[in-house]
Chain A
Amino acid sequence: KQEVTQIPAALSVPEGENLVLNCSFTDSAIYNLQWFRQDPGKGLTSLLLIQSSQREQTSGRLNASLDKSSGRSTLYIAASQPGDSATYLCAVNTGGFKTIFGAGTRLFVKA
């Protein structure tokens, strides 16, 4: 059974700091991995999608990497801003319409 774990559960950093969020999964047989952002009281916004054949994806100040063999992904946020404060969720698609989510990392960026 696929399990997705995110560490840390919560993180508080000063503005401008570079940071890394971690995601691990137990079964390397995945089709893709996606990072989402969730603001309080709102739905999920897709940030980056990495196909199983890819190693990383970049969008602006965000970079996500995937090491399928070790069951790990990281989301790197450069030069963090207060507007980055949100919960970041990692989700793995195991095919067959199955998407397993982690519990998320709650990020707070202090001005």
Chain B
Amino acid sequence: EAGVVQSPRYKIIEKKQPVAFWCNPISGHNTLYWYLQNLGQGPELLIRYENEEAVDDSQLPKDRFSAERLKGVDSTLKIQPAELGDSAVYLCASSLEAGSGGTDTQYFGPGTRLTVL
């Protein structure tokens, strides 16, 4: 079984440029998460999807960040324009969540390391 796939693995851009990250979750997983991980810190949730619906985006900086999960499968996270402080690792995770009330194990992708110059 394939795991969570993310691309690109690394991205270097100049500030004010746009950037997009892509995630393909484990097949059959209904819930998809985007996390931000700063150096030396644990991941922090940006947004959670239940199928194609964003059900928790309270931590997403909506002035510059956007996300979508068309058809309820793969997802894209976008930053426009990027700032120096956005340099971090962006992790995608998925879980099955078949009526478990949000307690299923999350499976993580390898992440995208973003460097903003």
Contact = CB atoms under 8 A, between A and B. Distances in A.
Question: Interface extent on B, as a size class?
Answer: 20 to 34
A89 B113 CA distance: 18
A4 interface: yes
A49 B107 CA distance: 12
A102 interface: yes
Interface string A48-70: 01000000000000000000000
Interface in A83-98: 89, 91, 93, 95-98
Interface in B54-97: 55-56, 91, 93, 97
Interface in B32-52: 40-45, 48
A9 B39 CA distance: 13
Q: Choose among B31, B93, B97, B106 the residue with the greatest number of A CB atoms under 10 Å from its CB.
A: B106
B25 interface: no
A46 B109 contact: no
Contact of A89 (B42, B44, B102, B109): B42
B103 to A, nearest CB: 4
B105 A101 contact: no
Interface in A69-111: 89, 91, 93, 95-104
A46 B109 CA distance: 11
Contact of B42 (A32, A43, A96, A101): A101
Contacts of A89: 42-43
Contacts of B108: 36, 43-45
Interface of A: 4, 31-32, 34, 36, 41-46, 49, 89, 91, 93, 95-104
Interface of B: 4, 6, 9, 31, 40-45, 48, 55-56, 91, 93, 97, 101-103, 105-111, 113
